[in-house]
């Protein structure tokens, strides 16, 4: 198994989780590899629920068990939300909480053979990207994903 296999499983598992498995949120999520979620140039129907996944490096692991390596990938998921009022803002916070709670559950990623563990590490303060209008915000959620490489 190669490192590319782990990245493919990471992105596939996040896509499947956000678009098909996640329950209890008010937002419909969809991957947006072609748009910058921190741009205000898109209509609300495209912007709201758009997300992008970023690789932020990997950490060396000391474990070498039976010719296997266990790298830890640092992943950032940027998610865009359209916010029209305080109630929607609170729903965004509840959606983010639900994403974190469910993403770390093994049931949401255990079908991917190269993934061993997912841990939440950090969530940014919601960042309004449209100045004083405060209608569009982006939240970044970071995870550590432990994978397995057969050597």
Range of the domain at 85: 3-150
Torsion 55-31-4-96 (CA) sign: positive
Coil, strand or helix: which one is 36?
Answer: coil
pLDDT band at 33 (very low <50, low <70, confident <90, very high): low
Q: How many domains does one find in the chain?
A: 1
- Give the pTM: 0.87
Phi, psi of 14 (to 5 degrees): -70, -40
Secondary structure, 3-state, 51-114: EEEEEEEEECCCCEECCEECCEEEEEEEEEEECCCHHHHHHHHHHHHHHHHHHCCHHHCCCCCC
State residue 129's pLDDT score.
87
pLDDT digits (tens, 9 = 90+) for 39-56: 767 777 778 888 989 999
How many beta carbons lie within 10 A of that of residue 103, not counting itself? 22
What CATH number does residue 105 fall under? 3.30.2000.30
pLDDT per residue over 113-139, tens digit each?
899 999 999 999 988 888 777 788 999
């Amino acid at each position: 198994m190669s490192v590319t296999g782990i990245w493919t499983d990471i992105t596939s598992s996040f896509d499947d989780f956000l678009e098909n498995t996640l329950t209890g949120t008010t937002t419909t999520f969809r991957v947006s590899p072609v748009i910058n979620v921190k741009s205000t140039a898109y209509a609300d129907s495209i912007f709201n629920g758009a997300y992008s996944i970023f690789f932020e490096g990997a950490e060396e692991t000391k474990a070498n068990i039976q010719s296997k390596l266990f790298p830890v990938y640092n992943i950032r998921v940027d998610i865009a939300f359209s916010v029209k009022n305080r109630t929607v803002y609170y729903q965004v916070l509840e959606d983010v909480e639900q994403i974190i709670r469910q993403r770390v559950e093994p049931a949401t990623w255990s079908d991917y053979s190269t993934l061993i563990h997912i841990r939440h590490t950090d969530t940014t303060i919601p960042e309004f990207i449209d100045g004083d209008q405060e209608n569009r915000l982006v939240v970044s959620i970071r995870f550590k994903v432990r994978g397995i490489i057969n050597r």
